[in-house]
Structure 1
């Protein structure tokens, strides 16, 4: 079958009556990525988990990039809040930001996959639409609203990368501890001591960000 540049969501699905479905394929790929990271995801590995021939997966996708696009958009669906958003713009965008935080912590590979620039799918569009809808309560144009969404996304990405680093590092490293004990880095030493009880500064940082936005637009 000749490859096409048409997004995978626009293509006809394989026969759903068969044992293998696109939904099962994507769900299995996400489970592998959650447990072992994005690099563990392969056509052969997924086929083995589903107990099917690797070639059978190509009834639903043409290449691995299709699978990555489907994975990204499936998780993007978890970003969408189904309940009505709060009327207040700050409460609405805060609810979306918290949902993003929780989703990234469940699926840490999403940031790595985003760097590969996957194609935008229907769930990602819903998430973008909802974020802009939240800011429609704020009297700004779409250009500024888009910048605000980007600023919140940047904050989320930075928060997640730091949280993942701290989790993988497993606490203070011996070298850092020894260097701080020398007294050559008094501000860092104090920051680590005073910050030890505040390992989740997410809400404070989000408040500072939204306070700045509110001042900028007189909200």
Structure 2
């Protein structure tokens, strides 16, 4: 089926539909469940319509194209990242909470990283998230360029850590997968004494421990040192 071109932003278009049981919210919720369980490639207009028990054409009364659906999914998950109420008092506490909420959402919805690479259109929740991030950075510096640099630096660390967790496993969130450091080949090298500095970390399991908080604190230390001395 050839999808028709989109007309403007999905958030500014009226919510169509004659079937009372078919809503934009139900479509997005179903799509997120499919993506969480099977990945982003499993999401299609036909698949979501089938899961909802309607014809594929029915979805086009609510969205113009599949890209609309992806944008809506991204923005729906962005709501999970928003800090409820007021941000914490200090810039450091605020940035830490924002980054940690991003991380938790990314682990619950791993397809978000892939979708972020496609540059989805920014929706209301995504815009509020950017606003909160800049507001947190603004408590350390009032220079717009510096505020953006701080937010982007912390985002890059957070995204890199999520990527590592997805591939290596993270206890308590995604379950433990086999680490490359536990492969037979690596074990043989360790037993032959060829990796003396690495061996204690593998023997004690230190290489599997969650260091997100420690790494983020180090990053915040460096940022704070840079701007406090100015």
Which has the larger displacement, 183-192 or 3-12?
A: 183-192
Q: What is the aligned partner in structure 1 of residue 223 from structure 2?
A: 213
Question: Is residue 116 from structure 1 mapped to residue 118 from structure 2 by the alignment?
Answer: yes
Q: What is the aligned partner in structure 2 of residue 170 from structure 1?
A: 178
* Partner Cα separation in structure 2 for residue 198 and residue 207 of structure 1: 19
Do 2:190 and 2:196's aligned partners in 1 also have CA atoms closer than 8 Å? yes
Q: Structure 2: which 5+ residue stretches go unaligned?
A: 170-175
Do 2:75 and 2:124's aligned partners in 1 also have CA atoms closer than 8 Å? yes
Q: Structure 1: which 5+ residue stretches go unaligned?
A: none
Pairing of 1:25-174 with structure 2 (within 5 A): 25-167=27-169, 169-171=177-179, 172-174=182-184
* Partner Cα separation in structure 1 for residue 43 and residue 158 of structure 2: 25
Displacement of 1:151? 0.5
Do 2:81 and 2:98's aligned partners in 1 also have CA atoms closer than 8 Å? yes
Displacement of 1:175? 2.9
**For residues 4 and 34 of structure 1, do their structure 2 counterparts lie closer, same or farther at Cα, with a shift above 3 Å needed?**
closer
Superposed CA deviations along residues 160-208 of structure 1, whole A, max 9, x for unmatched, are 0001111274332333323333322333333433552761101100110
Displacement of 1:139? 2.7
Superposed CA deviations along residues 47-72 of structure 1, whole A, max 9, x for unmatched, are 11111111111111111111111100
* Partner Cα separation in structure 2 for residue 4 and residue 103 of structure 1: 28
Superposed CA deviations along residues 113-166 of structure 1, whole A, max 9, x for unmatched, are 111111111111000000111122113411101000001100100110001111
Q: What is the aligned partner in structure 1 of residue 212 from structure 2?
A: 202
Higher helix residue share: 1
* Partner Cα separation in structure 1 for residue 43 and residue 188 of structure 2: 39
**For residues 203 and 16 of structure 1, do their structure 2 counterparts lie closer, same or farther at Cα, with a shift above 3 Å needed?**
farther
- Normalising to structure 1: TM-score of the pair? 0.92
* Partner Cα separation in structure 2 for residue 139 and residue 131 of structure 1: 13
Superposed CA deviations along residues 24-75 of structure 1, whole A, max 9, x for unmatched, are 0000000111111111111121111111111111111111111111100110
